[in-house]
Amino acid sequence: MAEQMWGGRFAKSTDEMINEFQASINFDKRMYHEDIAGSIAHAKMLNKVGILNDEDTNAIITGLKNILIKIEQGNFDFSVDLEDIHMNIEKRLTEAIGDAGGRLHTARSRNDQVALDTHMYVRRETIEVAKLIKELQLAFADTAKKYKDVIMPGYTHLQRAQPILFSHHMMAYFSMLSRDFSRFKGVYERCDIMPLGAGALAGTTFPIDRQFVAEQLNFDAIYSNSLDAVSDRDYIMEFLSAASILMIHLSRISEEIIFWCSREFSFVELDDAHCTGSSMMPQKKNPDVSELVRGKTGRVIGHLMAMLTTVKGLPLAYNKDLQEDKEGLFDAIDTIKFSLAVYAQLIRGMKVKADIMLKAVREDFSNATDLADYLVKKGMPFRKAHSVSGHAVHYCIEHKKWLEDLTMDEFKQMSDLFEDDIYEAIKPETCVKNRNSYGGTSYQQVDMQLELADKILNDEQAQLDIYKDKQIKL
């Protein structure tokens, strides 16, 4: 049994089973870069205020950088006995440089240390998520440009409603992802607050310089209350909330793609690289990527619910319950990053069957609203026009016709306002073109959406460039 660094108070060693139960090293070791960066900044601060001399400071920094190299080369053995990433690194450092390593923890607690590491880790991963969101947005925008004039049925209640442009549909998901990007930008702001210096809960008696550490680690703000600093997990809950909303958006497009690539719709063909077959039925081509993303959505939402439940009854300040903040967070990060990356490939590899989409529009009554609008523009009150249009649909169903098939005599029986221009008014292309209100599905409005998309993508890249400049390099 290894000697615990906090064991002075105890007459007995921790039971082996309890040791394994409370250890977090198996999952928090991924924060090694943040832990080492934070310790180097802390050592420099202790040197600046006269707590550490130059010799000890240099030994600590060199020792920590050597540990970083060993970890990245896979030559570092993590020990469950040492509980977490912080103790593993500190123990190895002390073994390598002696008493100087033991001085590193002066004016610091594992409570504010783990808070620091987690803030920095979430900050870094938020940038990676934002990059992937932007890449998926670009995939949607490029696909919209590629199939810009393709007409498809628009749906409400999963019933064909009105003709729309497929590009308009793609840009709806672009807009959703724009909000996702903005949400993660907010997450970044809330995790860009430095907790180190709060100590276990009440600060420290040493003359530390928290502003210096914040500058070393590129934090824009510092917690002004030590209790809040060590107990705050709002930024994790916010990350998981943003992640859940993002996954819901991916789940919605997944649901549509699963429909669209079925034989019943046959609107799109997915690339073979993004599908699997059946072990029994040789004809099958299954949209497994979309189904998996749809399924993983519940997993990410579950992590949010678990975190909310964990925090809801905790008194200030630190409680061991908060160790439960990481596994779900780490899994959510891995899940959304993979889902975003694979979806960008899927969207780019998707082939749109324009002829089948247009056929679905022509062989339907999704132009019934346009027939009613035609009558309104001729002077008929909308409620009456709606009734006339509904009667026309009913008549067509009874006589196995579409609206375009009606003769002028049949139209005239329903209203004297119908003229020959009705045939042009209810063509799918006209139905789309005339919906030219701001944000509508017209060709002109979609062009405007694509122009706006370019600006949004440029603005997002500018924000990512700012984040890139703040990344910690060791």
| Residue 237: count of CB within 10 angstroms of its CB | 19
Structure tokens of 364? 């339907």
Peptide linkage before 317 cis (omega within 30 of 0) = yes
In 10 A of CB 65, how many CB atoms?
Answer: 13
Element (H, E) at 156: strand 151-156
Question: Taking the alpha carbons of 66, 21, 236, 5 in that order, is the dihedral positive or negative?
Answer: negative
Distance CA(298)–CA(133), nearest Å, equals: 19
Catalytic residue among 79, 278, 391, 399: 278
Token pair of 420 as six digits: 């020959």
State the Rg of the chain over Cα: 30
- DSSP track, 274-337: G-B--SS-TT--B-HHHHHHHHHHHHHHHHHHHHHHHHTTPPSS--GGGGGHHHHHHHHHHHHH
Q: Is 303 tagged catalytic?
A: no
**278 catalytic, yes or no?**
yes
If you ran DSSP here, which 8-state letter would residue 29 be given?
Answer: G
Catalytic choice (157, 224, 279, 437): 157
The H or E element that residue 374 is part of is helix 368-377
Give pairs for 311-320: CB < 8 Å, separation 24+: 311/233, 311/237, 314/231, 316/201, 316/227, 316/231, 317/111, 317/200, 317/201, 317/226, 317/227, 317/230, 317/231, 318/111, 318/200, 318/201, 318/230, 318/231, 319/231, 320/22
CB 165 within 8 A of CB 441: yes
Residue 456, CB-side half-sphere exposure with 13 Å CA sphere? 22
Region of residue 153 (phi > 0: left; psi between -120 and 50: alpha; otherwise: beta) = beta
Residue 332 · residue 125 · CB < 8 Å: no
As annotated, the active-site residues are: 157, 278
